């Protein structure tokens, strides 16, 4: 099925460990995004990539890095995980035609 | 910066009844898009309905419809004939074109459909 594939679905990390969340879309969308979702705070933008080869910071970029590997793939890396990064992470993609986002299924990350 | 406000953290409705979820937003833009997303317990974010600001006609998708009041900056979602599967968190969102990074979410309304 066409859409956004996000892996893994669940992850538990110890404080200080690193990991990369993977995201791929097959809809030929130009733009891709990483959000985190925390209770009572909605979704907050971490980083985005408006097009292949470009990345920019969103509202809450500290502690994260991203790579737009090609048009399809956009990964999020936590270099040294902290308990404050416990959250649900969503990858999304969009065209520029105003049709909204297509989301991945999310990753529940717990940092202990 | 744009803000999106959902003033109802939780709501409930009897099965088969109608419920309206509220959303207001603040912007100085004239051209933009508004969305309602549904997030069921599965966690998947699902687009429910979309409205283009330059269109006066309210969008409808089966049992879902919106009441878009541009001057009042209000964008409410009406769910008719509520079903158990409508139980979910609902997020209102605002997007300023042309790039999708200008996308702002409300904090969500948790809707429970009671059998």
Asked whether the beta carbons of residue A101 and residue B45 sit closer than 8 angstroms, the reply is yes
Separation of alpha carbons A20 and A5, rounded Å:
14
B92 confidence band (pLDDT: 50, 70, 90): very high
Asked whether the beta carbons of residue B100 and residue A58 sit closer than 8 angstroms, the reply is no
Q: Quick check: B56 contacting A, CB < 8 Å?
A: no
Asked whether the beta carbons of residue B35 and residue A98 sit closer than 8 angstroms, the reply is no
The per-residue DSSP string of B19-54 comes to: EEE--EEE-S-SS-EEEEEEE-TT---EEEEEEETT
Over 90: is that where the pLDDT of A95 sits? no
Asked whether the beta carbons of residue B101 and residue A40 sit closer than 8 angstroms, the reply is no
What's the mean pLDDT in A63-87?
96
What's the mean pLDDT in B42-58?
92
- Percentage of the residues of chain A whose pLDDT score is greater than 70: 96
Sign of the dihedral through C-alpha B44, B82, A99, A86: negative
**Per-residue confidence (pLDDT) for residue A35, from 0 to 100:** 95
Which residues of chain A neighbour B98 with C-beta distances below 8 Å?
Answer: 96, 98
| Interface test mutation site (partner B, options A101, A102, A109, max chain B beta carbons within 10 A) | A101
**Per-residue confidence (pLDDT) for residue A100, from 0 to 100:** 82
**pLDDT tens-place string over residues B11-25:** 999 999 999 999 999
What's the mean pLDDT in A50-62?
91
How do strand B10-14 and strand B109-114 relate by DSSP bridges?
parallel
What's the mean pLDDT in B101-107?
83
Separation of alpha carbons B52 and B22, rounded Å:
18
What's the mean pLDDT in A48-54?
90
Size of interface A-B (CB pairs under 8 A): 62
Q: Quick check: B100 contacting A, CB < 8 Å?
A: yes
Sign of the dihedral through C-alpha B103, B109, B110, B113: negative
From the list B42, B47, B99, the residue facing A96 with the nearest CB is: B99
Task: Give the mean pLDDT of chain A.
Answer: 92
Q: Quick check: A48 contacting B, CB < 8 Å?
A: yes
**pLDDT tens-place string over residues B30-41:** 889 999 999 999
Sign of the dihedral through C-alpha B72, B75, B81, B83: negative
- pLDDT: is A84 or A59 the higher one? A84
| Interface test mutation site (partner A, options B47, B103, B107, max chain A beta carbons within 10 A) | B103
What's the mean pLDDT in B101-108?
84
Which residues of chain B neighbour A45 with C-beta distances below 8 Å?
Answer: 101, 103
B26 confidence band (pLDDT: 50, 70, 90): very high
- pLDDT: is B3 or A63 the higher one? A63
Indicate the range of A22-26, A96-100, B51-55 predicted with least confidence.
A96-100
């Amino acid at each position: 099925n066409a859409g956004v594939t996000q892996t893994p679905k669940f992850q538990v990390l110890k404080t200080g460990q690193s990991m990369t969340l993977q995201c791929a879309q097959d809809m030929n969308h130009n733009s891709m995004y990483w959000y985190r979702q925390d209770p009572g705070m909605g979704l907050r933008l971490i980083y985005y990539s408006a097009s292949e080869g470009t990345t920019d910071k969103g509202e809450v970029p500290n502690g994260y890095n991203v790579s737009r590997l090609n048009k399809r793939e956009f990964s999020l890396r936590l270099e040294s995980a902290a308990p404050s990064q416990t959250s649900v992470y969503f990858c999304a993609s969009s065209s520029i035609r105003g049709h909204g986002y297509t989301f991945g299924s999310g990753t529940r990350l717990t940092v202990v | 910066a744009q803000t999106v406000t959902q003033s109802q953290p939780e709501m409930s409705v009897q099965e088969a009844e109608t419920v309206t979820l509220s959303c207001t937003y603040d912007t100085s833009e004239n051209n933009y898009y508004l969305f309602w997303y549904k997030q069921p317990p599965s966690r998947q974010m699902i687009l429910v309905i979309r409205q283009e600001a330059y269109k006066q006609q309210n969008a409808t998708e089966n049992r879902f419809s919106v009441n878009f009041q541009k001057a009042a900056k209000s964008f409410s979602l009406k769910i008719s004939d509520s079903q158990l599967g409508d139980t979910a968190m609902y997020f209102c969102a605002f997007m300023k074109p042309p790039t999708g990074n200008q996308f702002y979410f409300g904090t969500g309304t948790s809707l429970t459909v009671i059998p």
